[in-house]
Structure 1
C-alpha cells in the first residue's frame, strides 16, 4: 500500500487506527496528535518529512526537545508516539523500517506522588458542601468530591459518568477508563448518600428542563456546554474554590492529587496493593507500586514488628 501524501494524512490515518484497533481514548489520541504534529513541524523546518526521516533525524529531534527544556517524561512520550507511528507505517507498508525502534529514550522520572492528609481531604469535603451559591450546586459539589475520594476515579471518568450507572442505589459503580476498559469500584456509605441526594435534585432539574423543551442529558453531572457534561477544566476550577474555602493551599489541590490520596490512605489502612491496582484501573502494577514509597515509615515498622529476625535480642 502506498503511503499517503503529507504529514496530516499520516497522523490522521494513524489516529483512526489507534481508535479502531486499540480503543485509544480521545485524550490519548489528542496527546499523540500534538506530539506527532510537533515532530512533523520540526521535520518540515529541516527539509524532511515522515516518509524519509532517518534514525539520526529522530535523535536530532529529541536533542532539540531537550534543548527546549522539555521534561524527561515529555521527551519519552514523544519518542513513544513517533515509535508507534512508524510501527503502524511499517505494518501498512508505507515504510520498510522503523527509524525509532532502536533509540533508547530518556526514561521517565519516578517522582513520588504528592498527596493530601486525611484531615485536608475532610476539610475539602466539608468545603464542597458550602462553596456554591445555589443548593443544587452544593449538592452536586458534595457528590463530586465524595465520589472522587471514595473511588479514586480519574477526573475524566468522573465527569463523564452516565446517569444510568447511578440508578438503583448502587453499592458499586461501573467505570469506563483508559482504553475503554471497564472496572467496578465500590461506594462508601457517605458517597452513596451524597449520590442519592444529588440524583434526586438532578432529576428534578432535568424534569423542569424537559418541560421547557430542552433535551434530557445522559450524564450524571450535566452541563449546558458543548460536551453536555461538567468538563475536566470546570471541575479543576471548582476544586480550587474548595481549597480556598477549606484553608488548604490551592496549589496543593488537584483532582489527581485526590486520586493519590485515595490510594495512599487505602494502603496506609492495610489494603492490598493488587486491590488498589484494580480500583485505580492501572494496567501494570509497577504504576501502583510507587505508592509504597510514601509509606516507608509504616513499612519499616511492619517489618520490625512481624519479621522473626527483627525481634529484640535476635
Structure 2
C-alpha cells in the first residue's frame, strides 16, 4: 500500500488505515507485508468481476471462497490449506476493522467455512540425538553461530511458534539470576505469557545479545529486535529477522525448513513427564481436546527412548 491515498477512494483510505492499525497491534512489518498484498490482489480481482470490498456480502463471500483457493503464481498449481486460511484471516481482519469503525456492517468471511489445518501438519519432532549432534556442530566462535544457537535453544526449550520468536524485542527479556524470563506478548489468541528459560538456553541468549548489542544490552531500546539479520541486505540495517530468515536457520542447522519442528520436538520431549494439562499450558492450547490430538499425533511412531527436556542441550554447551 502506498502512503499517497486518493481521497476519492474511501475504501483505499480504509485499507491504508487498517494496515497501520494492524501493524501497531502486531509490531511487525511482516504482517503489513503479507496482509496488504492479499487485500490489494483481492480488490483487483473483485473489481475485475464488477464487485468491490463493499459490495453485497453474499456476492463477496461467494467470490472470496473461490478466490482464496486460486494460485497467485503461474508456477503453482494448488494452494495449501494453510495459505487459504491465512488469506481468509487477512480478509476477515480487514472487515472486522471496517465494521468496528462503522464503514461496513457485515463480514462476508463469516459465511465461509475455513479450511481445517492441523497445527502440526507436515512437521515432525526430531530425535534427541539428532538435535544434540546438530547443535554441537554449530560454530560458536562467530556471531552468526551465537545467534543461531541461541534462537534454536530458545525455540527448543520453550516450544514457541515462529511468529512469537520473530516478534521478540529487548524489552521482552529480563535476567533472573542465571536465567532469563521471556515475555511473549504476541502469542496466538493475543494473550501475554511468560517463560523462565532454562539456564543453558538463557546463557546462549545472553551471549548472543552481548555479541550483538554489547554487555549493556539491557539498556537498549525496548523495541530493539532480539533476532536480527546478519546476512544479505538486512545485515546492513540490523533488520529484524522474519519468518523466512528463521526458516533459513532451521534449514541450515537442523536440516528442515519447517519451523514448527522445534515446537513438536519440545512437546515430544515433554510427553515423557508432563500431564496433558501441563502440556496444554506450555503449548498455549485453548482446549484439552487440541492437546490430546496433538499428543496422539506426536506419539505415533515415536521412539520410547526420549531424554528429559532438561538434558537435551547439556552436551551442546560450550
Aligned to 1:151: 158
The Cα offsets for residues 111-133 of structure 1, whole Å up to 9 and x where unpaired, read as 364221212211221122x2x7x
Q: 1:8 to 1:236 in 2, by over 3 A?
A: same
Mapped pair 1:121 → 2:131: yes
Residues 154 and 256 in structure 1, CA contact (< 8 A), matched pair in contact too: yes
Q: More helix per residue: 1 or 2?
A: 1
Query: Please, what TM-score do these two structures have when normalized by structure 1?
Result: 0.69
Residues 206 and 217 in structure 1, CA contact (< 8 A), matched pair in contact too: no
The Cα offsets for residues 89-124 of structure 1, whole Å up to 9 and x where unpaired, read as 3443333444443x2325213336422121221122
Q: 1:156 to 1:96 in 2, by over 3 A?
A: closer
| Cα drift, residue 286 of structure 1 | 5.3
| Cα drift, residue 239 of structure 1 | 2.9
Query: Please, what TM-score do these two structures have when normalized by structure 2?
Result: 0.69
Question: C-alpha distance in 1, partners of 2:242/2:106?
Answer: 41
Q: Which ranges in structure 1 are unaligned for 5 or more consecutive residues?
A: 208-214, 244-249, 302-314
Q: 1:177 to 1:288 in 2, by over 3 A?
A: farther
| Cα drift, residue 42 of structure 1 | 0.9
Aligned to 1:212: none
Residues 159 and 262 in structure 2, CA contact (< 8 A), matched pair in contact too: yes
Question: C-alpha distance in 2, partners of 1:240/1:122?
Answer: 16
Alignment of 1:204-243 (within 5 A): 204=214, 218-221=224-227, 224-243=235-254
Among 185, 194, 210, the alignment partner of 1:176 is: 185
SS state at 1:66 partner: coil
Aligned to 2:316: none
Among 82, 94, 98, the alignment partner of 2:91 is: 82
Mapped pair 1:254 → 2:258: yes
SS state at 1:186 partner: strand
Let me know the Cα RMSD of the aligned residues: 3.9
| Cα drift, residue 59 of structure 1 | 1.0
Residues 248 and 257 in structure 2, CA contact (< 8 A), matched pair in contact too: no
Q: 1:24 to 1:285 in 2, by over 3 A?
A: farther
Question: C-alpha distance in 1, partners of 2:11/2:223?
Answer: 38
Among 261, 264, 268, the alignment partner of 2:268 is: 264
| Cα drift, residue 43 of structure 1 | 0.7
For the pair shown, the structure with the greater C-alpha radius of gyration is: 1
Mapped pair 1:105 → 2:113: yes
Aligned to 1:305: none
Q: 1:84 to 1:217 in 2, by over 3 A?
A: closer
Aligned to 1:92: 101
Q: Which ranges in structure 2 are unaligned for 5 or more consecutive residues?
A: 1-6, 72-77, 230-234, 305-318
Aligned to 1:62: 65
Question: C-alpha distance in 1, partners of 2:101/2:113?
Answer: 25
Residues 264 and 291 in structure 1, CA contact (< 8 A), matched pair in contact too: no
Question: C-alpha distance in 2, partners of 1:241/1:51?
Answer: 46
Question: What is the aligned length?
Answer: 278
Q: 1:258 to 1:273 in 2, by over 3 A?
A: same
Greater Cα shift, 61-70 or 38-47: 61-70
SS state at 2:184 partner: strand
Question: C-alpha distance in 2, partners of 1:124/1:96?
Answer: 53
